[in-house]
Amino acid sequence: MVGLQKKLLDYASTGPENLRTMASTSLADPRLITLPASQEFVEPLMEQFYRGANEPERRAELVGPIVKLFQRARWNLPKSEEQQKIFYKILLPTWSVERGKLEENTRQLLQMEKDPVDWYVSQQIAGILHNNPDLQTPMLLTYYPKSFDTPMQERLWVPAVKWMLRFGQEVPEVGAEQQLPPEFAAVRDRSIDLFLKSLENKSDGRTRRAALSLAGDPIVRKHPKIAPLLAKASPQYFEKEPEEITKLSPAWRKNWEYFRDWVAPEMTKPNREDQMSCLGCHGVAGRVPSMELSNADDLGYVKMQGLASNYRALLERVNENSVEQSKILRKPLNVQSGKEDGHQGGRRFNPNDQGYKILEQWVRDAAKLKGQKLAAGNQ
């Protein structure tokens, strides 16, 4: 199967032009592939991307498979800075100031009207860059604009704030302050400024909607510069906590906050390999009766009452006597033995994935607290 996928991959970039789309579409399982971030591979596919973008009726056929492939596959970026620059220059679109002022790029779309080419390109490339962590690199940050010349450029970069507010840090510890690398402070501040500008009513509706779509993310939502404006624009994402949460001890409070800010987003994040999240199964009534959780909305937000319920349910699956045997740690790895079944949803993490390390941090802290509570009760 892997050999066939690689042959299709080669055909998608270097095969006969009229058959490249068919080859791209046939790459049904991008997770089996590592894409070379080389000029020879990327350039022909981006040429096809732009041809398709210019044919609105064929965008789904010509562009869709490339976007899916670039979003979901793993990338092998070159070690050379020069080669990385070549790669990003091919991938990143540019627009002149004059192009940004064209009537087609400044007016509101009519009902059922398709996006003009420049806006379509902006949105599709944004979907690639901001959904594939392999592409979120220090080199990409060097291309973050110091100022924005066109509205399409703003739309391209506004989603970056979500990952840039996490970028470069180690897996956070429970109760610890978030430590972001100072060397990226300037570009991080520019991403926050763009996000705040995009929340204004006078910004283009497409860019504003992209900004508002990040309201479900707790790290974005609680940022001190962002919170006041976002609370006005999307007040439904600033709920009061349930009474049971307000009564937690300081130690349990830190555990809850870590769950809310770091673990819960991992459970709503679509796996880039199959586009399913944990709550995509466990949040659907009747699908997993053994562990049914409250589901998230379309922005990945779980209402506070539901989140507290999920917190309780997952705490029950923490084994304070043997942390490594906790179901909440073993199921996502699809561990199978004679005494336990694997995970119906297959493997969701590898042990070295950052998401799994976040989950492990929370479980270890919860196990410690549960053990202390049990010991106190036995005295």
* pLDDT tens for each residue of 99-120: 999 999 999 888 889 999 999 9
Q: Please report the pLDDT score of residue 1 as a whole number.
A: 37
Note whether residue 109 is domain-resident. no
pTM of this structure: 0.88
**Do 261 and 373 lie in a common domain?**
yes
Cα distances (angstroms) measured from residue 201 to each of 43, 67, 233? 38, 30, 9
Q: Is the pLDDT of residue 300 over 80?
A: yes
Q: With CA atoms as reference, report the closest residue to 135 among 66, 35, 41, 209.
A: 35
Using CA atoms, how far apart are residues 174 and 254, in angstroms rounded to an integer?
A: 7
Listed range (16-30, 136-150, 197-211, 318-332) with the worst mean pLDDT: 16-30
**Do 65 and 130 lie in a common domain?**
yes
Cα distances (angstroms) measured from residue 292 to each of 282, 283, 311, 355, 359? 5, 6, 12, 21, 18
**Do 150 and 282 lie in a common domain?**
no
Assign 193 a pLDDT band (cuts: 50, 70, 90). very high
Looking up tokens 């991992």 gives 266
Quickly count: other Cβ atoms within 10 Å of residue 297's Cβ. Answer: 13
Last residue of a domain, one of 214, 238, 262: 238
Q: Is the pLDDT of residue 62 over 60?
A: yes
Note whether residue 49 is domain-resident. yes
Using CA atoms, how far apart are residues 129 and 43, in angstroms rounded to an integer?
A: 16
Q: Is the pLDDT of residue 139 over 90?
A: yes
**Do 320 and 289 lie in a common domain?**
yes
Q: 11-56 pLDDT, tens per residue?
A: 555 666 555 555 555 454 555 578 999 999 999 999 999 999 999 9
Last residue of a domain, one of 238, 264, 289: 238
Q: Is the pLDDT of residue 257 over 80?
A: yes
**Do 3 and 61 lie in a common domain?**
yes
CA torsion 328→331→337→342, rounded to 10°? 150
Using CA atoms, how far apart are residues 59 and 292, in angstroms rounded to an integer?
A: 38
Note whether residue 179 is domain-resident. yes
Share of the chain above pLDDT 90, in %: 71
The rounded mean pLDDT for the chain is 89
Q: Is the pLDDT of residue 143 over 50?
A: yes
SS (H, E, C) the chain: CHHHHHHHHHHHHHCCHHHHHHHHHCCCCHHHCEEECCHHHHHHHHHHHHHHHCCHHHHHHHCHHHHHHHHHCEEECCCCHHHHHHHHHHHCCCCCHHHHCCHHHHCCCCCCCCCCHHHHHHHHHHHHHCCCHHHCCHHHHCCCCCCCCCHHHHHHHCCHHHHHCCCCCCCCCCCCCCCCCHHHHHHHHHHHHHHHHHCCCCCCHHHHHHHHCCCCCHHHHCCCCCHHHHHHHCHHHCCCCCHHHHCCCHHHHHHHHHHHHHHHHHHHCCCCCCCCCHHHHHCCCCCCHHHCCCCCCCCCCCCHHHHHHHHHHHHCCCCCCCHHHCHHHHHHHCCCECCECCCCCCCCCCCCCHHHHHHHHHHHHHHHHHHHHHHHHHC
Type of residue at 158: V
**Do 4 and 138 lie in a common domain?**
yes
Q: Please report the pLDDT score of residue 35 as a whole number.
A: 92
| Domain limits for position 137 | 1-95+116-143
CB within 8 Å of 258: residues ≥ 6 apart? 172, 174, 175, 361, 362, 365
Q: Is the pLDDT of residue 187 over 70?
A: yes
| Structure tokens given for 67 | 């976007």
Listed range (115-119, 157-161, 196-200, 352-356) with the worst mean pLDDT: 352-356
**Do 223 and 257 lie in a common domain?**
no
Note whether residue 269 is domain-resident. yes
**Do 214 and 304 lie in a common domain?**
no
| Structure tokens given for 358 | 């976040």
Note whether residue 105 is domain-resident. no
Q: Domain count of the chain?
A: 3
Note whether residue 106 is domain-resident. no
Q: Is the pLDDT of residue 256 over 80?
A: yes
Q: Please report the pLDDT score of residue 28 as a whole number.
A: 46
Note whether residue 110 is domain-resident. no
| Structure tokens given for 205 | 């509706």
Assign 344 a pLDDT band (cuts: 50, 70, 90). low
**Do 7 and 49 lie in a common domain?**
yes
Using CA atoms, how far apart are residues 25 and 3, in angstroms rounded to an integer?
A: 16
Note whether residue 108 is domain-resident. no
**Do 364 and 271 lie in a common domain?**
yes
Using CA atoms, how far apart are residues 260 and 247, in angstroms rounded to an integer?
A: 16
**Do 271 and 372 lie in a common domain?**
yes
Average pLDDT over residues 169-193: 94
Q: Please report the pLDDT score of residue 2 as a whole number.
A: 40
Looking up tokens 């009207």 gives 113
Q: Please report the pLDDT score of residue 376 as a whole number.
A: 62
**Do 342 and 272 lie in a common domain?**
yes
| Structure tokens given for 292 | 């049914």
Contact at 8 Å (CB) between 154 and 212?
no
